[in-house]
A = this chain, B = another copy of it.
């Protein structure tokens, strides 16, 4: 199988590594718009060749579109258009985006919609670019298949096999349901980390040594603030309504805490903390 990967960053690059060494891909063709990333990806050995998008589509059996979600919508449509023009009925394209509603809407009426499988492998780190790619990134994590009923059964099966090789656990859901869930268990965490970083970096202007005391707990809550704007601007705008809704609930909880602390209301603070402690049952 020849696998084309558009975007050799953290996700695309890590897929390239494991699909190749685990024998699913006999050859990996890379497409990388950024010339620095392209030469890094070649020198790291993520792709056997880097080629144009068109050449990649024409030579690959599966095209993985792994670029920030703003660009992915357009690229997936371009790929489907080329499938149609070439009458290439056995080729498959997948995306790996963190928001699913817009990309599934944009492709819904495409004549080749069955050849598109919309997925979200739930793995990653706060780093990006070909340098961030690593083996075993996906092992044991969940992969969402969004609106799987819109893909042709054969295409879906092939992509299930691909993620099985990556040792991922498949979960099937509606695109809209996916976007609500990820707003709660992924997108809000990034916003709270960004806000925390901004809060403390502001203070650093007056207190040069403030980070001398930074604890492991602080690093843990702020680490996602290293995440790239290229990735997160389109996620936050594409999933705007869900993200705003979660942010409003979150800001309310912060205000509730603020009132309890301002009033020295120890019972209320204790109640909030004890309630929050229920997370122990869920997160190891």
Interface residues on A, range: 35 or more
Contact between chains at B225 and A279 (CB < 8 Å): yes
Q: Say how far A137's CB is from chain B's closest CB, in angstroms.
A: 10
Contact between chains at A189 and B196 (CB < 8 Å): yes
Contact between chains at B269 and A186 (CB < 8 Å): no
Q: Say how far A145's CB is from chain B's closest CB, in angstroms.
A: 13
Q: Say how far A254's CB is from chain B's closest CB, in angstroms.
A: 5
CB nearest neighbor in B for A190: B217
Residues of B within 8 A of A198 (CB): 253, 272, 275-276
CB nearest neighbor in B for A264: B237
Residues of B within 8 A of A237 (CB): 261, 264, 266, 269
A129 on interface, CB distance cutoff 8 Å: no
Contact digits for A179-216, partner B, Cβ 8 Å, 1 yes 0 no: 01110111011111111111111110001011111111
A221 on interface, CB distance cutoff 8 Å: yes
> Interface majority SS on A: helix, strand, loop or mixed?
helix
Assuming A199-B250, A224-B217, A266-B233, is B194 touching A272 (CB within 8 A)?
A: yes
Assuming A232-B273, A262-B244, A269-B236, is B213 touching A185 (CB within 8 A)?
A: yes
Contact between chains at B213 and A171 (CB < 8 Å): yes
Q: Say how far A104's CB is from chain B's closest CB, in angstroms.
A: 17
A110 on interface, CB distance cutoff 8 Å: no
A35 on interface, CB distance cutoff 8 Å: no
A33 on interface, CB distance cutoff 8 Å: no
Contact between chains at B215 and A124 (CB < 8 Å): yes
A24 on interface, CB distance cutoff 8 Å: no
How many Å lie between the Cα of A171 and that of B193 in the bound state?
Answer: 27
How many Å lie between the Cα of A280 and that of B211 in the bound state?
Answer: 12
Assuming A124-B215, A185-B211, A275-B201, is B220 touching A253 (CB within 8 A)?
A: no
Q: Say how far A240's CB is from chain B's closest CB, in angstroms.
A: 6
Query: What is A's interface to B at a CB cutoff of 8 Å?
Result: 122-126, 142, 144, 171, 178, 180-182, 184-186, 188-203, 207, 209-229, 232-233, 236-237, 240, 243-244, 246-251, 253-255, 257-258, 261-262, 264, 266, 269-270, 272-280, 282-284
